[in-house]
A and B are shown apart, each in its own frame.
Chain A
Amino acid sequence: AQKVTQAQTEISVVEKEDVTLDCVYETRDTTYYLFWYKQPPSGELVFLIRRNSFDEQNEISGRYSWNFQKSTSSFNFTITASQVVDSAVYFCALSEIQAGTALIFGKGTTLSVSS
């Protein structure tokens, strides 16, 4: 069965701190995709990144970086030098080729960045 666990419910940091959001997934499929979405206070989900199961290269986009490790079934997200605008709920999601195209979301991690 497919499952996504985001063990950190809430994280609070001060501006300029680095923060890592954890994501652990379960799947029996060999071909799957992992995603991160941001949901700011305005409510609209914003796509951040998609990775497929065959590409374990880490990715960096500005202050954002992602670490994908199949050995530990984890897809962690790091924000470097956090800013107040990073305050949001962050969701990790999984989709398996065999199970269809639906996204299975974790419960999300609420990140609060104070100035």
Chain B
Amino acid sequence: DTGVSQDPRHKITKRGQNVTFRCDPISEHNRLYWYRQTLGQGPEFLTYFQNEAQLEKSRLLSDRFSAERPKGSFSTLEIQRTEQGDSAMYLCASSLPGLAINEQFFGPGTRLTVL
């Protein structure tokens, strides 16, 4: 399967703990996105990478959140000192490069539950 993969699929943690999620994009896609989706809502944009450069960050991305894409391939999203409000599905997407805005292909997501 050559789609976007995410790991882990589920994560349960206690408030105050740190968590890290991984995303592997489709191999020829140099654009990578993180979104967060809560129940009954559409996905909300968090951040965007083109190759290894983080080019966009949403105001939703508080200083407890950090994302990296060190070699322009996989990406990690870390949440420090988790809060119950961080409970959500974290989605990763990737797209082809280009001048246009290309369709984004989404992974299965990581469901985070903060107790």
Which residues of A are in contact with B by a Cβ distance under 8 Å?
A: 4, 33, 35, 37, 43-47, 50, 52, 91, 93, 95, 97, 100-108
A-B contacts counted at CB < 8 A amount to 60
Which residues of B are in contact with A by a Cβ distance under 8 Å?
A: 31, 33, 35, 40-45, 48, 55-56, 58, 89, 91, 93, 95, 100-109
**Supplied contacts A37-B106, A103-B35, 7 more A-B pairs, CB within 8 Å:** A45-B43, A46-B106, A47-B104, A91-B43, A101-B31, A103-B104, A105-B42
Whether A101 contacts B101 by the Cβ 8 Å rule is yes
Q: Give B3's nearest chain A residue, CB to CB.
A: A44
Q: Which 3 residue pairs spanning A and B have beta carbons closest together? A: A105-B42, A102-B45, A45-B106
Question: Which residue of B42, B100, B101, B103 is within 8 Å of A107 (Cβ)?
Answer: B42
With A43-B108, A102-B56 already in contact, the answer to whether A33 and B101 are too (CB < 8 A) is: yes
